[in-house]
Amino acid sequence: MEVSTMKITKIDYVATGAFSKVITDYLCRGEALQQFYNHFPALESFEAQIKEKQFSQEQRQVLHQALQKQYASIAEVDPKVQQNIDLLQQPNTFTVTTGHQLNIFTGPLYFVYKIITAINTCKQLKERYPDYNFVPVYWMATEDHDFAEVNHFTLFGKKYTWKTDQSGAVGRFSTEGLEQVLAELPEAYPLFEEAYRHSKNLADATRAITHGLFGEYGLVSIDGDDATLKKALLPVVEKELTGQLSNKLVEEVDAQLEKLDYKQQVYSRDINLFYLTDSFRERIVLEDGQYKILNTDISFSLEEIRQEAAGHPERFSPNVILRPLYEELILPNLAYVGGGAEVAYWFQLKKVFEAYQVAFPVIMLRNSALYISRSNANKMHKLELQPEDLFQDYQDLKKQLSSQIHEEEISLEAQRKAVAEAYAEVEKLAGEIDPTLVKAVGAEEQKAHNALQMLEKKISKARDNKHEQTFKQLETLKDKLFPDGVLQERKDNLLTYKTNNPDFIPALVEAFDPFDLKFTILEEE
């Protein structure tokens, strides 16, 4: 297959119209937001971040042993991945982490964009700080229990859905039933076939897939649903149960953000913990001195729940408020790479980190992109549009095209005048020779006049049809590049592009610069 070359265009995020005010304000270092984060995502910020991050040798050993155990599910671990796992034992090694749910077949494109942003961040950090090692990490949201968000994906415009009656943390789900999805696909995808047919659960399958896609780049995937790793969360669990510390702090920050006209992205609870078993993940609530597990008959006294946490830390699952803190407790992490919504909710958490004396990481907006295939690029150029034009609303684009193709009203008036003058001369000549011919000349003139009028209408209609075709082509192009009116990355799946362009991931790795804070447009040439 011919390797595609790419034309890269970078535009400001604000120019896309697809990102919230809090994000665009953050990227331009808006003064009002500075109190809600630690260091801005610039290469020079990491010198201070490295100094602030405290991570003991004991913590490194716990992390290394957990990863070794988790990677036992991979038959042949890529040497670069194994090297990075081993490097985590060294005091000069740090991580850059991104996280996402376990969407089947990787879900929307932005899953891939997150990981590549983390990979490229590490690459640039190594160039800037050669005395340190930087490991890209994918935090698998294995404890998430919202199955409806991960059970489907869209390939070539068609939605595929995994049907199962399982419940609880999705990482623990058996992959049973995914073979039916595999059978429905238009062609075979060996990496996914192997992962879903031979992994015991969705967590192992997702690790196998990310290893297959990104192993050569040294990506390490971590599963926080791990009893040994959860021990680090026990002090947080204690304070959460007895003092509801995180909720108080988040509510304070939410009030500050609201005054600045920024909406809160996530909502805090009195207790930001779930109780987790193989069959359910339910909130812990305090009622009448008892710690009750919602939608069950389970309840604990304070002493009983303390004993439960000490004996079974894996049964205590942080929600969106505490999961970021958990990540930072078990990883030597410097930066978190997230989408717009994630960046926004991290701003709600800084006081929680300060209370636990944990370094608040650099919060990086993942790279975003619009990928324009060669066929769509040809359509774009035929319409005389530039890539940045495509972010406009369809109606606005239609007006732009109308002005570009605007022509004067079609009129054959000059031709009618010329014909009238010609017939006048003929009529004069005929009258001089035989006056009875004048009437015949007048009739012929009327026929010519009528013919020109009909031709004028036909030409006008033909031009209007041509313009309608242009508008239809524009509509089709917009639908292809912005499915359901949203950014391509929020809807389309990796395989939609990788199937036709095996070098899709390397092209993204080449194009993405995490520190230029621009939206990337990739156009096949």
Cα separation, 414 vs 420, whole angstroms: 10
| Residue range(s) defining the domain that contains residue 92 | 39-230+323-368
Residue 139's DSSP bridge partners are: 99, 222
Q: Alpha-carbon torsion 161, 166, 168, 174, what sign?
A: negative
What pLDDT score was predicted for residue 2?
44
Q: What does each C-alpha distance from 192 to 151, 213, 331 come to in angstroms?
A: 15, 10, 28
Burial class (CB in 10 A: 0-12, 13-18, 19+), 262: buried
Query: 329 and 310 share a domain?
Result: no
Are residues 85 and 147 located together in one domain of the fold? yes
- Alpha-carbon distance of 96 to 15, in angstroms, equals 28
Phi, psi (deg, nearest 5) at residue 199: -100, 145
Domain final residue pick, 452, 467, 485? 485
511 assigned to some structural domain: no
Question: Given 270, 285, 314, which residue is the final one in a domain?
Answer: 314
CATH number at residue 185: 3.40.50
148 and 226 housed in the same domain = yes
pLDDT of residue 464: 63
Q: How far apart are CA 23 and CA 339, in angstroms?
A: 10
Q: How far apart are CA 470 and CA 492, in angstroms?
A: 25
Q: What is the CA radius of gyration of the chain?
A: 32
In a domain, 94, yes or no: yes
Supply the pLDDT for residue 431: 85
pLDDT by residue, tens only, the chain of 525 residues: 344 688 999 999 999 999 999 999 999 999 999 999 999 999 999 999 999 999 999 999 999 999 999 999 999 999 999 999 999 999 999 999 999 999 999 999 999 999 999 999 999 999 999 999 999 999 999 999 999 999 999 999 999 999 999 999 999 999 999 999 999 999 999 999 999 999 999 999 999 999 999 999 999 999 999 999 999 999 999 999 999 999 999 999 999 999 999 988 999 999 999 999 999 999 999 999 999 999 999 999 999 999 999 999 999 999 999 999 999 999 999 999 999 999 999 999 999 999 999 999 999 999 999 999 999 999 999 999 999 999 999 888 887 887 777 555 567 888 889 988 998 888 888 888 888 888 888 888 899 899 888 887 887 677 666 778 888 999 999 999 999 999 999 999 999 999 989 999 999 999 999 999 999 999 998
* 274 and 133 housed in the same domain: no
Torsion from C-alpha of 29, 99, 107, 178, nearest 10 degrees: -170
CB atoms within 10 A of CB 162: 20
Q: Are residues 310 and 410 in the same domain?
A: no
Return the H-helix or E-strand segment holding 221.
strand 220-223
Residue at 158 is within a domain:
yes
Residue 27 lies in a domain: no
Q: Rounded distance, CA 370 to CA 80, Å?
A: 30
Q: Are 138 and 224 in contact (CB under 8 A)?
A: no
- Burial code (b: 16+ CB inside 10 Å, e: under 16) for 167-176 equals ebbbbbbebe
- Structure confidence at residue 432 (pLDDT): 86
Cβ–Cβ < 8 Å for 359, 53: yes
pLDDT at site 463: 67
Whose CA is closest to 295, among 303, 305, 285, 304? 285
Q: What pLDDT does residue 3 have?
A: 46
- Residue 58's alpha-carbon distances to 88, 100, 245, in angstroms, are 11, 27, 27
Are 142 and 89 part of one and the same domain? Answer: yes
Torsion sign over Cα 219, 222, 228, 229 = positive
pLDDT at position 519, please?
Answer: 97
How many CB atoms within 10 Å of residue 368? 24
> Which residue type occupies 296?
T
Q: How many residues does the chain have?
A: 525
Burial 30-54 (b: 16+ CB within 10 A, else e): eeebeebbbbbbeeebbeebbeebe
Statement to judge: residues 153 and 82 lie in one domain: yes
Per the domain annotation, does 22 fall within a domain?
no
Name the token pair of 295: 């939608």
Enclosing H/E stretch for 220: strand 220-223
Structural domains in the chain (count):
3
- C-beta contacts of 148-153 below 8 A and 24+ residues apart: 149/101, 149/103, 150/101, 150/102, 150/103, 150/104, 150/107, 151/104, 152/104, 153/103, 153/104, 153/105, 153/106, 153/107, 153/108, 153/493
Same domain, 245 and 360: no
pLDDT at 495: 96
Alpha-carbon gap, residue 189 to 355, rounded angstroms: 47
Distance (Å, whole) CA 512 – CA 515 = 9
Q: What is the pLDDT of residue 409?
A: 57
Are 142 and 217 found together in one domain? yes
| Those residues with Cβ within 8 angstroms of residue 285's Cβ, 6 or more apart along the chain or in another chain | 270, 271, 291, 292, 294
Element (H, E) at 316: strand 316-318
Q: Which of 336, 368, 400 is the last residue of a domain?
A: 368
Does some domain include residue 490?
no
- 351 and 224 in a single domain? The answer is yes
